[in-house]
Structure 1
Amino acid sequence: MAHPGFFQRQASARRNTTLLVVLFLVAVVLITLAVCLVGYVVTRSESSGLAFQHWLLSRHGAMTAGTVVILIILGSLVRWVDLAGGGERVAKMVGAREIDPDTRDAGERKLRNIVEEMSIASGVNVPRLYVMDHETGINAFVAGYTPGEAVMVVTHGALTQLTRDELQGVVGHEFSHILNGDMRLNVRLIAILAGILMLGQIGGFLVRASFHRSTYSSRSRDGRGQAAIGLIGLALLVIGYIGVFFGRLIQAAVSRQRETLADASAVQFTRNPEGIAGALFKIGLKGGYLDTTSHASDMNHMCFGESARMKLSSLLASHPPVEDRIQAIQPGMLARLRSRFRDTEPSTDLSHGQKTPHTANTSGFAGMQLSSGKQSAGFSGSVGTLTRGGEDYAIALLAQIPQTFRNLLYTRAGAVQLCYALLIHALPRHEQDDVLAQITRHPLLSPQRDILDKLLPALDSLGAAIHFPALELAMPALRKLDPEERDGLHAAVRQLIGADRKVTLFELAMSSFLKRHLMPESAQVVPVRYRSYKAVLPALKCLISLHARAGARIGDEAENLYQEAMAGFASQNETGTLQARVSLKELQQALTTLNQLSPLLKPAIIDAAGHCLTHDGRVDVTEYEMMRLVADQLDCPMPPLPA
């Protein structure tokens, strides 16, 4: 079985959203029919013996069905609005604490180092990190609507009980969910489950209320009324369990295959199957249940392992059995892990008493054709991947960064000053002071010379290759800015860019990067509006014209390069000739339009742009910045391409 690429996984995530809506509607219909059946039995004497199908069309039936549907939809909408804050809101919902970037805790620093290496290697912004301090089980999840505002939450047990290799395997699994577009689906599933479970919660409340009132009332009329309320509540509570059943089925339907894919991706990312296999083995031994949060069941489909205990696990579990997951990673791995832990663990029973099928001949990931790190489809083949070269490059780059410089990126003030330093570091000292003086005074956003003097020497010594990685490391701190401060930072950046009345390629890329990830629309999902290139030809002509001019040395060569790149999108009569001039505004509008294409149409655009830039047989830092700009604006994480 071939391992699906980034763009296929993005398209699959969108299809899963449709599946989720269909399953939700089926569950709503079945729950509504169950409640109506109860209503039919209660009001049968008043309905003159109508058959059930006719009773559904009566006033009582229509009111009952309408009330149920409204309650379910209302429950989902309330949770949907509650989770509008994205990943940060989910982390707070489960009581997680944000990890201080310059923490001194060994486990937290280990996690941050692993996440930063993987972020730079994959081209994904560094997610904000949280820990559930009171959870001793081994588990983790990522949450958010877009990769730019993702958060990663791990349990205290994962930090303290996993080795670095095992924790790296868990992080690789979670990064797969970020790259595959699973996070948005997972957050939406929480909201949908809230509506399905609404009736059971109402039923439980009525039963408790009836029992409580019965202890303080002895009048027969009150007693009969309370008994009726109690019976209705009990019926709703039973129906609520039907809702739980359907909710679990939906979780399992949309989650199991994605968990298997994430395990495979973690092996590909880390190149160490024993890492994630060891983490799964420890979950089998010690469990990954979330015992201190009331949302364990809601989060089950999001977590690395099962977060809630359940019956009928073979049918309703959101993850494949631990033993099967380990066997799929590498046949024979489970036996080796059992042998290794036999002398140190009291038990090797991974099932916690549950009957788990064992498949001896599972070939699993060993039969998957995972990417070896080579670009099989030009630039687009590297999008959404982690390669050996990219990870080695990230580790080496992080090792070169002075610790003082790195620590400053973890603070809001340091992250803001980094943005200024990136734009002025090539200027003489007196010119730096002149352009910085144009920035409006502000307690946080004003230029701070003491911080700049610590950042500028490192930027000069590390060279242009550090620019985008430094911005990625600073993103968690920049995302802590409030909306007014984000607007002020963007205005200050524009002032610095416009100071010399010209815009360099890096300035364009940086301004677009900050706008894409810090403005209010950064957390919004871009809908698919176009499913053919014909509808976006003007935007394509603009983008390819810019890249053809950048990749060619002379005018005629640029025209030929433009025609080569555009040949895959339309005929020469439709594409016309090379656009004479491309303004910043035109480029931004073109990228906004192209980002609304179907994910399966985007790789050809990235490859066409890459074809222009590699016309001379090499990619320099400036050309890479242009590729990063295009890929970032198309929501395609581009890993580093070290020269």
Structure 2
Amino acid sequence: MAHPGFFQRQASARRNTSFLVLLFLTAVVLITLAVCVVGYLVTRSETSGQPFHYWLLSSHGLITASAVVILICMGSLIRWVDLAGGGSRVAKMVGARPIDPDTRDSHERKLRNIVEEMAIASGVSVPELYIMDNETGINAFVAGYTPGSAVMVVTHGAITQLTRDELQGVIGHEFSHIFNGDMRLNVRLIALLAGILMIGQIGGFLLRSSFYSGGRTTARNRDSRAQMALGLLGVALFVIGYVGVFFGRLIQAAVSRQRETLADASSVQFTRNPDGIGGALFKIGLRSSYLDTTGHANDMNHMCFGEAARMKFSSLLASHPPIEQRINAIQPGLMARLKSRLRDTESGARLRTASGGNRPSAASSFASDTADLYTTASDRRRTSPAGSAIAAPVLEMASAQTLSERVGTISPEGEDFAIKLLQRLPSTFRGLLYTRAGAIQLCYALLTSDLTQKQQAECLKLLPNHSLFSAQPDLLAKLIPALQNIGEAVRFPALELAMPALRKLDPDERAELIKNVRKLVGADNRVTLFELALTSFLSRHLGADAERATPVRYRSYKSVMPALQRLLSLLARAGSGD
């Protein structure tokens, strides 16, 4: 069966989001009706015992229903605004810190290398990386509104306890969430549940207020009925609100389990190594995936690779299928093999202890035993005949019939291309891409590397005299030769590597960069295909609406026929020599 394309998966995610919103709207309607029933019982004596459906259409009923809907919408809106900063806001909410692109920590560099390989192989932007330093559990999640603005958060336990192939399996799982459009869905889930929770929180506040007021001695007889009514109303709202949250989490968990199963399968497809993600899940079973240092573990549970929070009714509310079920779904019999490998490792450890050696723990010996196996499997995969020739299909953009299928998909050729390309990058060149100044100069170098030195000097004079945005000859002298030596294939991969640094520019700086790039493009009064692609790429990823999903504006090609005619005529002209 053909794997669905990136754009098809994004469209499917939008449909899932619409269905999810419909389910939550149904929950809001039911909660509103439940609160209206409570209001009807409280005011029944004042309304002469009229039937509920008449009361619901009266001023009392309409005010009650409107108040409930407004409160739920306010709760969702407050959380939505709180998360409007995109993936970086979610990362900071859980106390994660950004990983320095030029980090010297070996575990962090391993993570960055894996992420960059998979990003270049799939043709999506390199996500910004964060780490939760104090979390010893094995977990990870991605957040953001669009694939181009995604951030990836990984726990310290994940990068230190997993082998390279196991970590690659986890990263493949998280990339699947980017490809399948799950990130916006996850943020919406958090916001919608916050709105429903608002009713329960107000009920709890009324309940506490009634107990507090009931403790006073003054005017107790006069106010006792009002206090009792307030307490009963609080109890009712508390119960309704938290029952609503319970069913909301049921919906959330059901959707999440489906998406997690898809992500596990996609990870195997991306890495071609079921033992990688299988071993990572097995280690979670041996140890833990809980997030213990943040108060947002319940909110983040459906976003994470493994269960982030301990909960009651886990069979109903768990956002992930059971570990054993996930492993066997990846490959039948994989769980039995992993258990057998662990038993063999423990037996070997006991023999070493009997002969005077130091016995490691079961989990650590399992990790050390499987590390060599996975490294060997990875090396075999990367040196196989299928990957020995660097992916002519990856380098040949003229193969248009499969272009849309390749976007957001990791193929063996694409991964081998990414690995070999990264190996060819000089360390100085690659290090510059991780700095703001180096990333800006890369944009200039991409537009001037094909020019003569005299032409380069003339073009760069167009740039303003600015400490950050003026041409810096010393940096350009390190970037341009590498671009010329490696060739055109390095252009967009290098730009992808520079995107985390470019995203650190503030809005005014981003606008200035785009303005300067357009100056260089217009210097010769003509626009090449690469120049058009570059300016479009920067506008899409660094523009004012960069982190917002692009809405579907047209449902039929007829309304954009003139634009299509111009596009097709341009392609016909560009594709012919006559």
Q: TM-score range by the shorter chain?
A: 0.7 to 0.9
Amino acid at match of 1:50: Q
Q: Does the 8 Å CA contact 1:122/1:384 hold for their aligned counterparts?
A: yes
Q: C-alpha displacement at 1:250, in angstroms? A: 2.2
Q: C-alpha displacement at 1:263, in angstroms? A: 0.9
Moved more, 180-189 or 270-279: 180-189
What residue is the counterpart of 2:488 in the other structure? Answer: 464
| Separation in 1, partners of 2:159, 2:46 | 62
- 1:345-360 equivalences in 2 (<5 Å): none
Q: Deviations over 1:79-130 (max 9, x none)?
A: 2222222112221222221111111222211111110000100000101111
- 1:87-166 equivalences in 2 (<5 Å): 87-166=87-166
1:312 is the counterpart of 2:313: yes
Distance 1:436 1:3, change over 3 A: closer
Amino acid at match of 1:47: T
Q: Deviations over 1:206-257 (max 9, x none)?
A: 3444555666766525676555444433332222221221221221233222
What residue is the counterpart of 1:505 in the other structure? Answer: 529
Distance 1:201 1:293, change over 3 A: farther
Amino acid at match of 2:204: G
Q: C-alpha displacement at 1:536, in angstroms? A: 3.1
Q: C-alpha displacement at 1:306, in angstroms? A: 1.9
Amino acid at match of 2:424: Q
| Separation in 1, partners of 2:489, 2:57 | 69
What residue is the counterpart of 2:427 in the other structure? Answer: 403
| Separation in 1, partners of 2:88, 2:417 | 30
| Separation in 2, partners of 1:456, 1:516 | 25
Q: Does the 8 Å CA contact 2:136/2:157 hold for their aligned counterparts?
A: yes
Distance 1:91 1:542, change over 3 A: same
Distance 1:218 1:450, change over 3 A: farther
| Separation in 1, partners of 2:331, 2:475 | 49
What residue is the counterpart of 1:549 in the other structure? Answer: 573
Q: Deviations over 1:252-304 (max 9, x none)?
A: 23322221111111001111111111111222222222222222222222111
| Separation in 1, partners of 2:55, 2:115 | 59
| Separation in 2, partners of 1:300, 1:422 | 42
Q: Deviations over 1:381-429 (max 9, x none)?
A: 3232100000001000001111111111111111001111111223333
Q: C-alpha displacement at 1:457, in angstroms? A: 2.0
CA RMSD in angstroms comes to 2.4
What residue is the counterpart of 1:423 in the other structure? Answer: 447
Distance 1:222 1:339, change over 3 A: farther
| Separation in 2, partners of 1:178, 1:25 | 26
Q: Does the 8 Å CA contact 2:459/2:520 hold for their aligned counterparts?
A: yes
What residue is the counterpart of 2:340 in the other structure? Answer: 339
Distance 1:227 1:286, change over 3 A: farther
1:517 is the counterpart of 2:518: no
Name the SS for the 1:522 alignment partner. Answer: coil
Name the SS for the 2:504 alignment partner. Answer: coil
**Structure 2 residue aligned with 1:455, among 460, 473, 479?**
479
Q: Does the 8 Å CA contact 2:170/2:280 hold for their aligned counterparts?
A: yes
**Structure 1 residue aligned with 2:416, among 392, 397, 401?**
392
What residue is the counterpart of 2:206 in the other structure? Answer: 206
Moved more, 289-298 or 528-537: 528-537
| Separation in 1, partners of 2:125, 2:138 | 25
- 1:580-591 equivalences in 2 (<5 Å): none
- 1:432-447 equivalences in 2 (<5 Å): 432-447=456-471
Moved more, 66-75 or 309-318: 309-318
Distance 1:418 1:212, change over 3 A: farther
Q: C-alpha displacement at 1:315, in angstroms? A: 2.5
Q: Does the 8 Å CA contact 1:35/1:236 hold for their aligned counterparts?
A: yes
What residue is the counterpart of 1:634 in the other structure? Answer: none
What residue is the counterpart of 2:500 in the other structure? Answer: 476
1:539 is the counterpart of 2:540: no
| Separation in 1, partners of 2:361, 2:19 | 42
Name the SS for the 2:332 alignment partner. Answer: coil
Moved more, 49-58 or 468-477: 49-58
Q: Does the 8 Å CA contact 2:124/2:407 hold for their aligned counterparts?
A: no
Q: C-alpha displacement at 1:377, in angstroms? A: 5.9
Amino acid at match of 2:529: L
| Separation in 2, partners of 1:242, 1:176 | 32
Of all paired residues, the percent bearing the same amino acid is 71
Q: Deviations over 1:515-566 (max 9, x none)?
A: 1211112222222233333333323322222222232233xxxxxxxxxxxx
Name the SS for the 1:24 alignment partner. Answer: helix
Q: Does the 8 Å CA contact 1:217/1:223 hold for their aligned counterparts?
A: no
| Separation in 1, partners of 2:334, 2:400 | 30
1:491 is the counterpart of 2:515: yes
Name the SS for the 2:545 alignment partner. Answer: helix
Q: Does the 8 Å CA contact 2:5/2:404 hold for their aligned counterparts?
A: no
Amino acid at match of 1:289: Y
Q: Does the 8 Å CA contact 2:95/2:132 hold for their aligned counterparts?
A: yes
- 1:21-100 equivalences in 2 (<5 Å): 21-100=21-100
Name the SS for the 2:278 alignment partner. Answer: helix
Distance 1:263 1:543, change over 3 A: same
1:272 is the counterpart of 2:296: no
Q: Does the 8 Å CA contact 2:426/2:482 hold for their aligned counterparts?
A: yes
Q: Does the 8 Å CA contact 1:98/1:129 hold for their aligned counterparts?
A: yes
| Separation in 1, partners of 2:280, 2:242 | 32
| Separation in 2, partners of 1:490, 1:14 | 30
1:195 is the counterpart of 2:219: no
Distance 1:203 1:107, change over 3 A: farther
Q: C-alpha displacement at 1:3, in angstroms? A: 4.1
| Separation in 1, partners of 2:402, 2:424 | 29
Name the SS for the 1:287 alignment partner. Answer: coil
Q: C-alpha displacement at 1:335, in angstroms? A: 0.8
**Structure 1 residue aligned with 2:554, among 526, 530, 537?**
530
Q: TM-score, normalised by structure 1?
A: 0.78
Amino acid at match of 1:21: V
Amino acid at match of 1:107: H
Q: Does the 8 Å CA contact 1:269/1:385 hold for their aligned counterparts?
A: yes
Q: C-alpha displacement at 1:16, in angstroms? A: 0.9
Name the SS for the 1:197 alignment partner. Answer: helix
Q: Deviations over 1:583-616 (max 9, x none)?
A: xxxxxxxxxxxxxxxxxxxxxxxxxxxxxxxxxx
Q: TM-score, normalised by structure 2?
A: 0.86
Q: How many residues in Structure 1 have an aligned counterpart in Structure 2? A: 530
Distance 1:122 1:223, change over 3 A: same
| Separation in 2, partners of 1:6, 1:137 | 31
Q: Unaligned regions of 5+ residues in structure 2, if any?
A: 347-359, 364-386, 394-398
What residue is the counterpart of 1:558 in the other structure? Answer: none
| Separation in 1, partners of 2:283, 2:163 | 11
| Separation in 2, partners of 1:2, 1:397 | 28
Amino acid at match of 1:497: V
| Separation in 1, partners of 2:290, 2:79 | 23
| Separation in 2, partners of 1:444, 1:213 | 62
Q: Does the 8 Å CA contact 2:297/2:308 hold for their aligned counterparts?
A: yes
| Separation in 2, partners of 1:214, 1:172 | 57
| Separation in 2, partners of 1:33, 1:330 | 47
| Separation in 2, partners of 1:281, 1:467 | 39
Distance 1:441 1:323, change over 3 A: same
| Separation in 2, partners of 1:338, 1:214 | 60
1:299 is the counterpart of 2:300: yes
Amino acid at match of 1:26: T
1:169 is the counterpart of 2:169: yes
Distance 1:4 1:502, change over 3 A: closer
Distance 1:535 1:164, change over 3 A: same
